[in-house]
Amino acid sequence: MFKPEITIHSDDPRVQEFLERIENGEKIEVDDWMPDDYRLQLIKLIAMHGISEIMGAFPEKEWVPKAPTLKRKLSLMAKVQDEVGHGQLLIRVAEDLMHPLGKTREDLIEDLFSGRLKFHNVFHMPAPSWADAALIGWLVDGAAIVTQKMLAHTSYAPYARALKRIILEERFHAYHGEDMVIALGDGTEQQREMMQDALNRWWPALLMFFGPPENGEIKSNQEINIRYKIRSKTNEELRQEFLDKYVPQIRALGLEVPDDNIYYDETKKQWVYTHPDYTYLRDVIAKNQGPRSQNRLNLRKIGFDNNEWVREALLHNQKAIS
Amino acid sequence: MSKDVKDYDVYEVFSQKEPTGKFESQFSLLAPNADVALAMAQENFMRREEVPSNLFVVKRENIHFMPPEKRKALLRLDNKDYRQPSHYGYIPSKWRELKEKNAPKASV
Amino acid sequence: MVKKYNTPEEAKQDQQYLDTLKELIFQLADDDLLISHRGSEWLGLAPHIEEDVAYSSITQNTMGHAAMLYELLEELGVGKADDLAHLRKPEEYRNARLVERVNGTGDYKENPDYDFGYAIIRNYAYELFKKIRLEALQQSSFVPLADTARKIKREQYYHLYHWEVWIDQLAHSTDEAQKRLNNAIQKTWEDVASLFDLGPKGDQIVEYGLLESGEMLKKKFMDQFKAKMENSGLIWPGEPQPLSETGREGRHSEEFVDALNHLSEVYKMDPQASW
């Protein structure tokens, strides 16, 4: 494991200069000098973001062959393909950051299997009905869009460039998700029930997606990210944005937010709601013990192991020419 | 798997919108060689763009970036109007003025 | 000189022609539907991320082709495109056996033990055949079908190129890769003859000038496939076994019935609903 030597707390003059650049709104490139902890925070964040896109393909993919109409088959395939494509973009950015540490994509995948590299909580959850596929496209993507919009202002230019592409495609994802839930929410009794069930199932995971609220206590990890302008908002700010956008949509569809206590506090200009049990993130999800964690990891592992002969054959060719 | 070559190479992908247009950088991908990189390029980065008229890929190690400490060499003063056509914007009206001034006098 | 039919309305005037035409378009549409379904099961499981994305584009294109063909049937008054794709009985599907085969063992959601070597060779065989068939269809007596074939062929070029790149890469690499490709050719060969079968109305399909004969398609296919194998140092498996039963007559494997159940599971919950 790479030990950071030069950090935000070091008195190395280069750190001060680096922070000044960041404060001036300058963007950092992969070949710029950077403090070790800046690099490590980025790798951690971007590798998790990237691998979550890859793992996020699996829950929706369960419904790709079963998508109800020819049009849905096409659009859902395109959407899941985009997720894998976003994974490609992000993992490439992480790979370039890992390069000086002698690590490659293969190491990253192995970190996933060993549990060192985590993927987002929502992709550990089951998707037992077609409405779950619709809900993922609508609200899981919705939550991701809120986070990614914030991250697009990141100080690290290659990440910002990848996010720019991703956000453009997310505009399609947002409409795609809304198109699916409108068909169900505005559909038959059976369809509306499916949709409400899926919402009930996913609500706590959606709130957890943004992480525990800070309650005025910013952790050092997050503080570093904010000072380095890797991110600019807190978990709770992001969750509030999500609620701002989606509670009205949920209600417009005639669905019920599965929280009897939720209301908008006009004076504080924020949502008051029942928090999920965030210890679930640390005690279950982070240990890959969620309902579908092992299944999804296993799929990734099968894909990886079964094709080892292909990678080996291509690496053989690569060596032959280099 | 042998440890000396651990993963594929990085290829940068460039595309050209139309035959008279310039090539622009799209993104990068991992591939064992240029043939594979070319076969993956369009579907990875240009699924929604108009069909490009051409593509090329370059192994990243063959691209030379301006090193960070030399990027200052890209700076210059903003005093080079004389290179811009707009700097000569007075000319059309000047021509009109001159034509009028020097028009041959109609003989009486 | 065969008579041309310029519009669905013209075709509908001639019942025998219409029946023959429907039979053919079902073959084309069902082939694309099934191979695309198999492709969609691969999503997320390819050898590397970039390939996952590229392969999915081929799968989508192919599903798009199926949709165009079902829509052609809809214009011919056969039924709603989505109903045709999802609601027929297994014995009413006209696809070749080759395209319905599973990708490997195991369930796609739980333990998909898929063979990328088979994916390469099966897809290459199908796309090569499809190219040859599309070229012939461009002369079809049903003009809207000829036009559709012309459109499809434009983006199908990439499919064949893609799988050729894979063959070129792997055929000249490790012994294991070569062995796997050769095994995949053997496996593909068990079903390859199903492609050239034009079904019970085969003779009429040719007489009406809708498509050239199965023997012609087969000859062109074998010449090109053999050349590719020889250039790649792979083992040419020789003349394929004749068929015992054929998908073009609606005889399908159990694997097919599973695939059909998957692809129609949600739609069947309520075909009247909007999805």
Q: Cβ contact (<8 Å) for C60 and A316?
A: no
Q: Write out the two tokens for A82.
A: 């985009």
What is the rounded CA–CA span in Å between residue A230 and residue A217?
Answer: 19
Rounded to a whole number of angstroms, the distance from the CA of C64 to the nearest CA of chain B is: 15
Residue A273 lies in a domain: yes
Q: Cβ contact (<8 Å) for A31 and B29?
A: no
Rounded to a whole number of angstroms, the distance from the CA of B68 to the nearest CA of chain A is: 6
B5 confidence band (pLDDT: 50, 70, 90): low
Q: Is A77 on the interface with C (CB under 8 A)?
A: yes
pLDDT value of position A118: 96
C269 confidence band (pLDDT: 50, 70, 90): very high
C-interface mutation test, from B1, B8, B35, B36, most C Cβ less than 10 A away: B36
pLDDT value of position A1: 57
- In this predicted structure, the answer to whether residue B3 has a pLDDT above a threshold of 50 is no
> How many helices (H) and strands (E) in chain B?
2, 3
Q: What does the pLDDT average to over B87-94? A: 95
pLDDT value of position A318: 83
Burial of B79 (0-12, 13-18, 19+ CB in 10 A): exposed
User: pLDDT digits over B9-50, tens only?
Assistant: 999 999 999 999 999 999 999 999 999 999 999 999 999 999
pLDDT value of position C44: 96
Residue A4 lies in a domain: no
Q: ipTM > 0.90? A: yes
Q: Cβ contact (<8 Å) for C54 and B31?
A: no
Q: Enumerate the residues of chain C whose CB falls inside 8 A of the CB of residue B43.
A: 53-54, 56-57
Q: Cβ contact (<8 Å) for B32 and C48?
A: no
- As a residue count, chain C comes to 275
Q: Is A303 on the interface with C (CB under 8 A)?
A: yes
Q: Enumerate the residues of chain C whose CB falls inside 8 A of the CB of residue B8.
A: 48
- Based on its alpha-carbon atoms, the radius of gyration of chain C, rounded to whole angstroms, reads 18
Q: Enumerate the residues of chain B whose CB falls inside 8 A of the CB of residue C162.
A: 39
Domains in chain C (CATH in brackets) are: 11-232+246-269 (1.20.1260.10)
Q: Mean pLDDT in each 10-residue stretch from start to end of chain A (322 residues)?
A: 86 96 96 96 97 97 98 97 98 97 95 97 98 97 96 97 96 94 97 98 98 86 91 95 98 97 97 97 96 97 96 89 68
CATH number, domain of A37, equals 1.20.1260.10
Per-domain residue ranges of chain B: 9-63+76-101
Residue A14 lies in a domain: no
- In this predicted structure, the answer to whether residue C198 has a pLDDT above a threshold of 60 is yes
Q: What is the mean pLDDT of chain C?
A: 97
Domain extent, residue A228, equals: 31-211+220-321
CA diameter of chain A = 69
Q: How many domains does chain A have?
A: 1
Residue A6 lies in a domain: no
B4 confidence band (pLDDT: 50, 70, 90): low
Rounded to a whole number of angstroms, the distance from the CA of B40 to the nearest CA of chain C is: 6
User: pLDDT digits over B49-72, tens only?
Assistant: 999 999 999 999 999 999 999 999
Phi (first) and psi of residue A272, to 5 degrees: -110, 130
pLDDT value of position B6: 77
Q: Where are the alpha helices (DSSP H) in A99-229?
A: 105-114, 130-135, 141-151, 157-185, 189-208, 220-227
Q: Enumerate the residues of chain C whose CB falls inside 8 A of the CB of residue A87.
A: 49
- In this predicted structure, the answer to whether residue C142 has a pLDDT above a threshold of 70 is yes
